Structure formats: C-alpha cells, structure tokens
Structure 1
Amino acid sequence: MSGTDRLSNAAEDAKGKVKEGTGKATDNEQLEAEGKTDQGKAAAKDKVEDGKDAVAEKYNDATDRNQD
C-alpha cells in the first residue's frame, strides 16, 4: 500500500476525532456521530489496505519477487 493511502486514512481518522470531540464539547450529537463515522470509515479502509498488502506479499513470495 502506498504511504499516501496511510496518510489519507490517518487524516480522516484525525478529522473524525476532532469532530467527535467538538460534538461532545458543544453537546452536538450529530457532529459527534459524524466524527465516529469518519473514524470507522478510516479504520475500514486501513483493513482493506492491510488485506491488499497481505495478498501482494503472498504473491511476491510465491513468485520470488522479493529476492535479488
């Protein structure tokens, strides 16, 4: 997975945490829920990317692409 994807997911997670915290501080349940949703989406994207990485690693191992 590219570093860009990891950064994008981390940014979305951070944005969600800020939204959730702001929602709690202002007693805004909708904003709090949006923050939790953003965090959940970021976590799901990370899991998908982890799966892609695992498949790529298995493929590279099977085809000896990691050896010099």
Structure 2
Amino acid sequence: MGELKDKAKGLANEIAGNVKQAAGKANDDPALHAEGKAQERKGEAQNLLGKVKGALGDKV
C-alpha cells in the first residue's frame, strides 16, 4: 500500500507545484514560481520512491 500512497502524494505535489509555477509566472512573482518548482521536484521524488517500493515489494 505504501507504493500507491507515495505515488498519490507525489502526483498531488507535482500538480500543486505546477499550479504555483503558473501563478507565479502570471503574477510576476519569482518566489512563488520557485516554490512551485521545488514542490514539483518533491512530488517527482515521492513518485520515484513509490515506483521503487513497487519494484522491491514495499520493503523500502
């Protein structure tokens, strides 16, 4: 179950990060854009962790 949970959290963070990046770009707010980029990267890492857990059978 950890695999799906990590993948779901990762996807949610990627989406939220993309929204923040777009808002930061639209409002000319470099801090918000950078925050969104960081959140997107966090989501990508969580998604990768979920994939690794799936490959190793949740033993990570």
Alignment of 1:1-68 (within 5 A): 1-2=3-4, 4-56=5-57
Does the CA-based 8 Å contact 2:17-2:39 persist in structure 1?
A: yes
Aligned-pair distance for 1:21?
0.2
Tell me the SS of whatever aligns to 1:27: coil
The separation in 1 between residues aligned to 2:10 and 2:49, in whole angstroms, is 11
How high is the TM-score relative to the length of structure 2? 0.82
What is the total number of aligned residue pairs between the two structures? Answer: 57
Does the CA-based 8 Å contact 2:10-2:47 persist in structure 1?
A: yes
CA RMSD of aligned residues (A): 1.8
Q: State, as a whole percentage, how many aligned pairs show the same letter.
A: 32
Structure 2 segments unaligned to the other structure (5+ residues): none
Structure 1 segments unaligned to the other structure (5+ residues): 60-68
Higher RCO (C-alpha 8 Å, min separation 6):
2
